[in-house]
Amino acid sequence: MSLQPNLNSLTEEVQHYLETEHFIVFRCLTRAGDEAPIVYWDTERHPEFKPFLDCALQLGIRLIHLHVREFTSMHREEALDQLGESALDRNQQREMKRRIEELTIYEGLTCAVEMSFDFEGRLYIYQVHTEWYEEWQDLCDELEDFMGDGEDGPDKYGGYFSNN
């Protein structure tokens, strides 16, 4: 996990390194929910991205899937829509709305970066996110708990993490 409020500089570093090392970059959505067995890089103890990419190089991997998530006003709008449909009482809705609005100061910032590659039937993933985006995910999980039918599923907000 990253403690940075914004991952724009990390994104630039990653893109520069990928270009310098002549990786083929496939820009994609998150792969964290893919069907293949997933192996996550330990970003808590080894937060640097270069060793992850060096591992890919040593395996002969040149194709790297890159997903960069920006926090947008759409996040707020969808959360407010879901809040209006929730089973929360008026006071709970007011408190949840306050929390949603507090986090909108991060609109326009990069909140998560994910790189991945495939090797021998497994998906290897490096992912980092901001602390405030984790708080946003927690808020969305709470809100989803108060939805009646859950028709929109776990990716309502473009969920970055698997539900495992």
Render pLDDT for 20-74 as a digit per residue (tens, 0 to 9): 999 999 999 999 888 889 999 999 999 999 999 999 999 999 999 999 999 999 9
Question: In this predicted structure, what is the pLDDT of residue 46?
Answer: 95
Task: Measure the CA–CA gap between 108 and 124, rounded to whole angstroms.
Answer: 28
Confidence check: pLDDT of 101 > 90: yes
Confidence check: pLDDT of 136 > 80: yes
Q: What is the reported pTM?
A: 0.79
Task: Measure the CA–CA gap between 83 and 139, rounded to whole angstroms.
Answer: 11
* 10-14, 104-108, 157-161: range with lowest mean pLDDT: 157-161
**Which residues lie below 8 Å from residue 126, measured CB to CB, with a gap of 6+?**
40, 41, 43, 49, 52, 114, 115, 116
Question: In this predicted structure, what is the pLDDT of residue 114?
Answer: 97
Task: Measure the CA–CA gap between 112 and 106, rounded to whole angstroms.
Answer: 12
Q: In the structure, what pLDDT confidence band is assigned to residue 1 with cuts at 50, 70 and 90?
A: very low
Percent of the chain with pLDDT strictly greater than 90: 72
* 94-98, 120-124, 148-152, 159-163: range with lowest mean pLDDT: 159-163
